[in-house]
């Protein structure tokens, strides 16, 4: 292969554009990670593990459990009655609002995680393409 053909081939590889795309994707990933960490820190009380309540909901449930109502004859509720009453409290008042907020926060955190994972995969793909371009350049030497 002649030198002019090699130069033309190298110019057509688009390495400069690829490097620009990598920097752009790195910036996007950094912005996504920063936005996620800010959102998490602002809503730390509503973050929960899978299948469990967040700190705010647990605190409201504990407050409700400390002052449960009494039966019509003035006795304390049984464990089953207390559990049923707490379940009923989940449907109304501040507890329902806290549960709704917890669900919204969980959804947004999971959504952000998906966007971050996609951005990481795109960045890995671009870096793999850059490695291929590097091998092609080495081959043309």
pLDDT digits (tens, 9 = 90+) for 74-97: 777 777 877 777 777 766 777 788
Other C-beta atoms lying within 10 Å of the C-beta of residue 38: 10
pLDDT in tens, 92-141: 777 788 888 999 999 999 999 999 999 999 999 999 999 998 888 888 77
For the packed helices 15-42 and 93-140, what is the interaxial angle rounded to 10 degrees? 160
Name the more confident of 59 and 123.
123
| 31 touches 115 (CB < 8 A) | no
Q: Let me know how long the chain is.
A: 141
Give residue 47's domain range: 3-140
DSSP secondary structure letter of residue 2: -
| 97 touches 60 (CB < 8 A) | no
pLDDT at 108: 95
| CA dist., res. 19 & res. 30, Å (int) | 17
| CA dist., res. 92 & res. 136, Å (int) | 65
Number of separate domains in the chain: 1
| CA dist., res. 91 & res. 59, Å (int) | 16
pLDDT at 72: 67
| 25 touches 122 (CB < 8 A) | yes
- Position of tokens 């690829």? 18
The whole model's pTM is what?
A: 0.73
pLDDT in tens, 27-52: 999 999 999 999 999 999 888 877 78
């Amino acid at each position: 292969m002649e030198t002019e053909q090699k130069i033309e081939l190298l110019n057509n590889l688009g390495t400069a554009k690829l490097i620009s795309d990598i920097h752009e994707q790195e910036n996007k990933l950094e912005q996504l990670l920063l936005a996620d960490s800010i959102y998490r820190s602002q809503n730390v009380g509503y973050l929960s593990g899978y299948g469990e309540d967040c700190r705010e909901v647990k605190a409201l449930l504990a407050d409700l459990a400390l002052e449960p109502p009494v039966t019509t004859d003035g006795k304390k509720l049984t464990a089953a009655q207390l559990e049923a009453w707490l379940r009923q409290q989940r449907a109304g008042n501040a507890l329902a609002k806290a549960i709704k907020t917890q669900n919204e926060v969980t959804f947004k955190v999971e959504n952000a995680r998906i966007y971050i994972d996609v951005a990481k995969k795109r960045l890995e793909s671009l870096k793999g393409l850059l490695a291929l371009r590097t091998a092609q350049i080495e081959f043309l030497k």
